[in-house]
Amino acid sequence: MPLCVFDISEDGSSAAPTGSGLEGPARYRWWHFDLADPDLPEWSKTNLPLIPAEALLQQETRPRCDAYEDGLILNLRGINLNEGQRTEDLVSIRMWITDKAIVTVRVRRVFAIQDINKATMAGFAPPTPAAFVTDLVTRLTARVQDEVAAVARRTEFFEAALEDDTASIPPELTQTRRRVIRLNRYLDPQRAALTSLSKTPLFSARDHLALRELANRTTMAVEELDAQRDRLSAVQDDHDLETARKQAANSFLLSVGAGIFLPISYLTGLFGVNVGGMPGIDDPRAFYLLCITMTVLSAILVLIIRRLKWL
């Protein structure tokens, strides 16, 4: 059973369908399904052409816009606003659109579709299929722009944090980079799909203007994501360089210390050999003389290292 089905008139009013066919007596009929509906495969096979029916039933999709006979196969992605889920795990909406019918299929809740559903029940439905698509794309694009703006604010925070030399790499930096990659994965092909949508002969020239503007907004969002990806990479590189510099400085200090104590260790090891003939065995002052010798030797090594500007 569909999640909802409406006969929608040109004045935006809606009514329950008077038949079970794909199309109805009103301006167009909107069918909305869940992909998990066990009746959907049989319904699609009965009411839709083969290729659009298969497109609606695909488990994995990417944004696309393809004309087929007298209709349009349209797949889009939107920001995931479902509770407990990551926003960058974009939700998908599959569509088959003709001049007299719209079929939409979702896997997870798409809040843009829910908004249109509420407006339809209130008597303010999009009056034509073109208006329906434009309204849906407008809502999806607005949420995409909000998400991209949130990523931009996060990137500015990471860049500002670079001024603090003592700050470590923020744990959210890697997560944000992955977030940008996931968003870009689907929004880039969605830009191409919306560009194709703005040229479809199924809609009027006036509808094309609105859809071109939405395609332009998506293009700007993708370009902004590309910029954020580069800026986040630069932030990561700066943190990596600072970490490498600190490690190199620490390693250098350890090397200098080893250089100072190596001769001293040699002396202590030499005089620690428990064999006959060692000088100073019977002299009570020998230990103190050895300590003084090692101290003087250490001071000489420090002076040499400083003269060489290693310290």
pLDDT of residue 101: 96
pLDDT at 220 over 80: yes
Structure tokens at 39: 């009746």
pLDDT level of residue 211 (50, 70, 90 thresholds): very high
Which of 14, 12, 236, 32 has its CA nearest to residue 121? 14
pLDDT of residue 27: 94
Copy the structure tokens of residue 74. 């349209």
At residue 224, the pLDDT reads: 93
Q: Is the pLDDT of residue 82 over 70?
A: yes
Task: Inform me whether the pLDDT recorded for 279 exceeds 70.
Answer: yes
Least confident of 48-52, 123-127, 181-185, 268-272: 268-272
Please give the mean pLDDT across all residues of the chain. 87
Three-state DSSP at 266 gives helix
Identify the pLDDT of residue 172: 83
pLDDT at 21 over 80: yes
pLDDT at residue number 8? 96
Question: Do the Cβ atoms of 268 and 261 come closer than 8 Å?
Answer: no
Q: How confident is the model at residue 103 (pLDDT cuts 50, 70, 90)?
A: very high
Q: What does residue 50 show for φ and ψ, rounded to 5 degrees?
A: -60, -50
User: If 0-12 CB within 10 Å is exposed, 13-18 middle and 19+ buried, where does residue 12 land?
Assistant: middle
Indicate if the pLDDT at residue 294 is higher than 80.
no
pLDDT surpasses 70 at 275: no
Q: Smallest Cα–Cα separation from 183: which of 152, 144, 215, 153?
A: 144
Residue 226 or 309, more confident: 226
Q: What is the pLDDT of residue 260?
A: 72
Q: What percent of the chain has pLDDT over 70?
A: 94
Q: pLDDT tier at 286 (50, 70, 90 boundaries)?
A: confident
Which range, 63-67, 232-236, 252-256, has the best average confidence (pLDDT)? 63-67
Encode pLDDT of 147-176 as tens digits: 999 999 998 888 888 777 666 667 788 888
Beta bridge pairs of residue 92: 77
pTM: 0.78
Instruction: Indicate if the pLDDT at residue 120 is higher than 90.
Output: yes
Judged by average pLDDT, the poorest of 46-60, 218-232, 239-253 is 239-253
Beta bridge partners of residue 82, listed in sequence order: none
